[in-house]
Amino acid sequence: MMKRRLRSSISTTWQTAVIVVAALLLGALFIAFAGESPLECYGVMLEGALGSMSRISEIMIKMVPLMIMALGVSIAFRAKLWNIGAEGQMIVGAITSAVVGLYIPLPPWLHMIIAPIFGMIGGALWAMIAGWLRVRFNANEVITTMMLNYVALYLLAYMVYGPMQEPGGYNYPQSSSMAESIQLTPLGAGLRVNTSVFVAIGVLILIILFWRSRFGFTVDLLGHGTKITNYAGLNANRTIIWTMMLSGALSGLVGWIEVYGVHFRLLEGIGAGFGDLAVVITLLGKMSPIGILFASFFISALLVGGATMQRMTAIPYSIVDIIQGLVIVLLITQPMIQQKLQARKARGIYVE
Amino acid sequence: MESIAVEMRDITKIFGHKAANDHVNFTLRRGTIHGLLGENGAGKTTLMNILYGLYKPEGGDIFLKGERVDIQSPEKAISLGIGMVHQHFMLANPLTVTENIMAGNFRKRQILLRKDQFRREVLELAERYKMKVDPDSYIWQNSVGEQQRIEILSVLFQDIDILILDEPTAVLTPSETDELFITLRELVDDGKSIVMITHKLDEILQVADEVTVLRDGKNVGCRKIDETVTKRDLSSMMIGYDIDLDLQSTHECTGDCIALSVKDLTVKNDKGLIALDHISFDIKEGEILGLAGVDGNGQKELCEALTGLRPVEAGQIYVKGDDFTGKNSKDFINAGVSFVPEDRRDVGLALDWNIANNLIIKEYGTDAFSSRGLLLRNKIKSHAKEMIERFDIRAIGEDALVKDLSGGNQQKVILARELNGLPSVLIANQPTRGVDINATMNIRREIIESSNNGTAVLLVSADLEEIIQVSDRIAVIYDGKIMGILPGRSSVAEIGPLMLGERMQRHDETASA
């Protein structure tokens, strides 16, 4: 059993690797087409991504939130609930956790427990709205979660221009900064990466265990349909709601990390397109925790390396967008290609 | 030569990596009814779809009246005088009978449609073949049996000589089947030739002149039907060896304890209309109550209500004497009420999941398969192995995806899950539909076996043969009402009229038999 489990996780990780390599190869074509040397370009990118401690630290800064959000998205996706509102859930989590730091005086140690919990509750409730609309009105969660992203964006704008704006500031759309005692501690002098890395590791382990637990089984069962879920003696509607909440809670937790570990305050633009990236990572990682670990590393390295490349060479940053786009195209076409290959392989093997 | 209508020689058709037809020869004589017999997946429909121009064969030739023809499309087939009635009708519900037949035939008529003329021709044709049809009624006003008649009429309108019928009796009541057979006889007497695809042995013996049997895509023989041909002969041709067709329920009702009791139950369907109208019955421990009836008369709603999946509007459900009205599906499962749903692909199974997981979807939360919240993979695996062994599920292993299994093996997965741990009540809705004859016998045997062990069984089936064979008592449902409860081994002639809505006299006395 253990062997088989290993084999199946290797095969999905392998799929992820194939897509990444194929995207990079196709990306090389585009780079050559633009008159640059692909080798040089990727060399600069690699150097830019992994060349120094501080760059690795930058990768971590991106990877921690992206991985946690993608793990959250994967919970909903495996239940066939297409929650693409991770960004909105993260924004609301950022707001609710910022409220704790700004307005509720607590001893720092207690604060470090309460603020992330508030973040998770914020994200969970935001996702719950979409879950409830689905259960009550059969509203498609793709639409509702996407719309709720905008609602969250404008709620954030209202907050940072309005009641939560920094008093006596220069009218920037941001809140006051958090007290140093409640910020996440950097892991080394001059590095931005902080203790949230341990949070991410903890979440990863928990999610791996989750898929081996009966709760994970329930979510997977829901992914096979509401009819069979009800038939198995579970309440599909209730399962939809708590699955969405769990999914949103992880994005809400990321809101806390961004406020207390990266920006040290609530500000407009805190979402930073993380929601869409999290969906790409979830799919690239084939919804498995280990796959998501690798996929989030790849995407983060691409982002950081691309930014350095833009600064150091004449090659435009758009290359990064092209590679990301290629990953998506390959993800979509992969099942068809795989089917063709399998059909060729399976000839002659038929079990009645 | 003149007496042969169609000859198909060496027909081969390959789907993916499997030969659906493997060098099949088939000869249809003029003016005969030719049964095409075989299990599901034997290649009967494929062969006829080739004759009708829907599929292009990889090899082989078709001869029509001795002449080689190339049939690339159904249009070509029709122009050659070949017509086909599929299992699923192609009628437009909001149109009348005449309009539907016009829609299927306007191409060769004048530009201006003359409805009155059409109507007259429809009536003439219907009368000629003794088919009762109201040309001005809308399709939705007609019963399934009548719709089939309309479909046949529509095909006959195309001046065809050869008529192919794909499982024509699957949707019919016994008396409708008899009417169909009368019509088929009329057609044959008129010089037409008919191919009837079926897997029912009785029908072949009843109506066919000749039979060709397919097995695994191969022609295993052709026989003239006369008195010497028996069901056993045909079934052994069909599956390749002898099986015992006379299944007997040998159990005795132990005790007089009532396991399931339904009192004045009223339930609505998905559209909010009354699906069950004050129905009542009891099932004792170890007893099999067969519920006969044409599909769609409330059977699905009854099964769902009895498993907590559908709300009860009025009345009560008692399981082993306890009131379960309004309880949810979990409560029913915990009380030992098992359910084999009609729709196994959507409700009863997770097709994209493996056998092991499918076997535990009702039990994974129990101590048997999880501890401190985490699933016990080894126990799940060994449980699956045990079930595969015990229920003879044919698969490459417990990791095989359920969608890769045949219909019969899929159903065995459900039965393995539902019969494991001796349920107190089993609700089985169409447990053998779409399953081959061998698996059918096994499934019936399992159901009888469980009743021998004390399970009270409600067996819902549209297949009267099955109901009569297995049940201790037979209830008949029509339009959401129980028309009567008959003793076991009642005949088709006794059950048939009730299925059409004739209420039985003195049903109280027989009910307590």
The per-residue pLDDT for range A204-240, each reduced to its tens digit, is: 999 999 999 999 999 999 999 999 999 999 999 999 9
Q: Does residue B387 lie in a domain region? A: no
Chain B stretch 149-208, residues whose beta carbon is closer than 8 A to a beta carbon of chain A: none
pLDDT band at residue B252, thresholds of 50, 70 and 90?
low
B364 touches chain A (CB under 8 A): yes
Instruction: State the smallest CA–CA distance between residue A10 and chain B in angstroms.
Output: 17
Predicted pLDDT at B507: 46
Residues 378-407 of B with CB under 8 A from A: 378, 381, 394-396, 399-400, 404, 406
Total domains in the fold of chain B: 2
Record: contact B375-A352, CB cut-off 8 A: no
pLDDT at B428: 96
Question: B296 to each of A151, A229, B138, how far by Cα in Å?
Answer: 46, 24, 20
CB contact under 8 A, A224 and B351: yes
Q: Answer whether residue A89 is part of any domain.
A: yes
Chain A residues within an 8 Å CB radius of B344:
none
Contact A119, A94 (CB under 8 A): yes
| pLDDT of A10 above 80 | no
**Does a structural domain hold residue B272?**
yes
Q: What is the mean pLDDT of residues B388-399?
A: 88
Residue-level pLDDT at B392: 86
Q: Is residue A124 part of a domain?
A: yes
Give me the helices (H) in A183-288, please.
196-211, 214-222, 226-231, 236-257, 274-284
- Do B485 and B452 belong together in one domain? yes
- Where is B382: in which H helix or E strand? helix B377-390
Do residues B15 and B90 both lie within one domain?
yes
Dihedral over alpha carbons A265, A271, A275, A277 (to 10 degrees): -100
What distance in Å separates the CA atoms of residue A260 and residue A94, rounded to the nearest whole number? 9
pLDDT tens-digit profile of B277-297? 999 999 998 899 999 988 888
**Domain boundaries, position B487:** 258-352+401-511
Q: Inter-chain contact A214–B353, Cβ cutoff 8 Å?
A: no
Q: Could you say which residues from 183 to 222 on chain A have a Cβ atom under 8 Å away from some Cβ of chain B?
A: 209, 212-215, 217, 220-221
Is residue A276 over pLDDT 80?
yes
Nearest CA in chain B to A232: B362
Each residue of A54-113: pLDDT tens digit?
899 999 999 999 999 999 999 999 999 999 999 999 999 999 999 999 999 899 999 999
Structural domain containing residue A142: 62-297
Identify whether residues B338 and B200 lie together within a single domain.
Answer: no
Residue A35 in any domain: the answer is: no
Specify if B369 maps to a domain. no
Least confident span in A106-115, A291-300, B115-124, B226-235: B226-235
How crowded is residue A118: how many other Cβ atoms within 10 Å of its Cβ? 22
| A-chain residues near B361 (CB < 8 A) | 221, 228, 231-232
pLDDT bracket for residue A345 (50, 70, 90): low
Please report the pLDDT score of residue B508 as a whole number: 46
By mean pLDDT, which of A81-95, A121-135, A161-175, A334-348 is the weakest?
Answer: A334-348
A253 found inside a domain:
yes
Last residue of a domain, one of B182, B212, B239: B239
Chain A CA closest to residue B331: A233
Q: Does A349 contact B at CB distance below 8 Å?
A: yes
* Interval B55-113: pLDDT, tens: 888 889 999 988 899 998 888 898 899 999 987 778 888 888 888 888 777 655 566 66
pLDDT at B247: 54
Structural domain count of chain A: 1
Band (pLDDT 50/70/90 cuts) for residue B254 is low
* B199 and B227 inside one domain: yes
Question: How far, in Å, CA of B129 to CA of B120, rounded?
Answer: 15
Strands B370-371 and B374-375: antiparallel
Q: Are B62 and B5 in contact (CB under 8 A)?
A: no
* Shared domain check, B200 and B62: yes
Please state, in angstroms and rounded to a whole number, the distance separating the CA atoms of residues A27 and A317: 12
Please check whether residue B379 lies inside any domain of the structure: no
How many CA atoms, within 13 angstroms, populate the side-chain half-sphere of residue A352?
7
Query: Does a structural domain hold residue A50?
Result: no
What's the gap in Å between the CA of A9 and the closest CA on chain B? 15
- How far is it, in rounded angstroms, from Cα B356 to Cα B383? 8
Q: Nearest CB to A231: which of B18, B329, B370?
A: B329
State the pTM of this model. Answer: 0.75
Pairwise CB contact (< 8 Å): B328 & A231: no
B278 in the same domain as B170: no
Of A119 and B501, which is predicted with more confidence? A119
The stretch A334-343 carries a mean pLDDT of 76
Inside any domain, residue A324: no
ipTM score of the complex?
0.85
- Average pLDDT taken over every residue of chain B: 86
Identity of the residue in A227, A348, A350 whose CB atom sits nearest the CB atom of B347: A227
How confident is the model over B117-128, as a mean pLDDT? 86
pLDDT at A169: 76
Indicate if the pLDDT at residue A349 is higher than 50. no
Task: Specify whether B26 is located in the same domain as B119.
Answer: yes
Mean of pLDDT values over B468-488: 90
Establish if B26 belongs to a structural domain.
yes
Q: What is the CATH number of the domain that holds B43?
A: 3.40.50.300
pLDDT of residue A350 exceeding 60, the answer is no
pLDDT of residue B462: 82
Q: Out of B212, B239, B266, pick the residue that ends a domain.
A: B239
Look at residue B111 in the predicted model and tell me its pLDDT: 64
